[in-house]
Chain A
Amino acid sequence: MAIPGNKDIRDGILFSLPFMIVFALFMIYPLIFGLYISFFKWDILGTPSFLGLQNYADLLADEKFWSSLWHTVQFVLMTTPVLLVLGFLMALLVTSKSPLRGIMETCFFVPYIFSMTVVATLWAWIMQKDFGIINQVLNILGRDGVSWLTSEKNAMWSISVATYWWTAGFNMVLFTAGIKQISKEIYESATVDGAGMLQQVIHITIPLLKPTTILCLILQIIASFNVFGQVYVMTGGGPAGSTRVLVQYIYETGFNYFRMGYSAAMSYVLFVIIMAVSVLQYVFLGRRED
């Protein structure tokens, strides 16, 4: 520690100070303020009036809160498994010996570079009922168009499909990195022992990828719980509120109706849920690997 002339600690603090100031101002302060304001009724412009736990009590009785939470859970269930499997399969293709693997890697990852608004607007038009390209093609083939985004049956699946296209590439990158870490000797000896491709994937790649899979799973569930943009742009929460997700409801109550306290209370409930899910995953899946 006390080496003469060593100013590591001072320099370290100095160098991280710009970040720490921004972090404290835009992350920590809002976090604490959000919790504080969730006990108040506040419309931004007026003075907050104290409500105690009223916002949290209202929330339990709010049908729209529960339906929005349920839609979010639906989205998590619809996207997480598919995105993991897709990402894994893409990673297998990309790490294979195929001559196309460079092109495939680019193709799989490019969608992830686009902003959410671009992706969601693109898919909203592709899936538009009366003028979208999918239904136009169906019409040419002599079939009726499908209400991709305007029927309650299909809307959430359609949003999920757009999400698959958009974010599977990110999981691919994680899985690719994981696969590349597995030592080649294991595969070589398996080949010598006469194991086929499929057997190698099932008995070598999948088990050895477990840490990556768990990381992907946790990140994916957190990301899916926070879904908002795609839904907001593609369906606006419709038809008839059937795809309204929790973050959208939080946004609407906060920034359309200016019920900041209630909005903050809901955010904290979502925070607790995501936290609980992550901790559970960590406890049940993550611990054994050490």
Chain B
Amino acid sequence: MTKAFFDHISTTPLDPRVFEAMRPYFLDRYGNPSSHIHDQGQGALRAVDQARAEVAALIGAKAGEIVFTSGATESNNLAVLGAAEGAGAGKRHVVVSEVEHFSVMNALIPLRNAGYEVTVLPVDRNGVVDPDAVRKALRADTALLSVMHANSEIGTIEPVGPIGRIAKEAGVTFHVDATASAGHIPVDVREIPADLVTLSAHNFYGPKGAGALYLREGTKVAPRTFGGFQEMGYRAGTENVPAVVGMGAAAILAGREIGAWTEHLSRLGKTLWDGLAAIPMLHYTGHPSERLPGHVSFWVEHVEGESLLLFLNMKGVMAASGSACSSNLRGHDEEDLVASPVLRAIGVPSDICTGSITFSLGKGNTADEVRLALDALPGIVERLRAMSPTYLDYQKQQIKGG
């Protein structure tokens, strides 16, 4: 059976070329970059420094501005907590958008507990943060502003350029979570006036367990891990050398091939987007044009998201739900089932939040795979509607209403 993976926003497959670059660092080249008096350690140190330059090149940064981490969550935690503390005692105010990832949102909990004031910026129906709202929210005591580059659930690209200029004028440290965007659209710190940028390797065909935080020269960030002097003191602990090497290799590929990837994703994404229009009572989410290429998100009236995804999976089509309701099956109790905060933020009615579907395409997807999804969807929607009491009531109402 043909299988089609349309959940690249959760992770991308490792590019085989990246794997080949990593391979020697699992076996032959096992040195610790911090113990580099000998050849093994020297080799590891050089590999990590080379990867640092490669990741820096992807976003137009200097090598010395890249700190390797275990991934986007750690980078976001370091950015939020580290910049809040680094801003100094007088600055006890943090501003974030309401559609930030959990690794930003939940990092605010210890800050609130420590007495920080948090302003959460609303988004419009397309999930866009209003730069004017940012301007109004920033204060003399604001330590940090955090706005993501692109939203994983609804694909919307935020106006981080204008927002960054406002932050710069106000002298506020600006963090951009580029987890969903890096490798999919250009992320260049010479154009986006960000002080901190989060990157995740496995979101652009690199390995899991590798991420980076870009720190613009002069940005004050306090460390969150304590130990040795790795990563310029920002992140103690022996580097995950194979993963870091993989992140560097993935950054080279992304830098070189992003143009072709974007074109491919845009084309397939448009086919999917246009094809979905044939399904009655389907509503797209996120910004119609300012969105990630190959990212298509929507909800369908009278169809519950998880059921749709389970049926799609049986047909070989792997997509995801924006809703924690459907995706967080491994939660401890029902308290873990909550409607997606992002969908609530853009005003999707709560009875619909469980129906949200996200297709995120990758460079390996084909037109045939998109066709497979488009062929499978109408029948599944019909089947689930036929089972739904809400659809039955809707039909009866339609008949009554003539």
**Do they bind each other?**
no
Interface residues of B (CB under 8 A from A): none
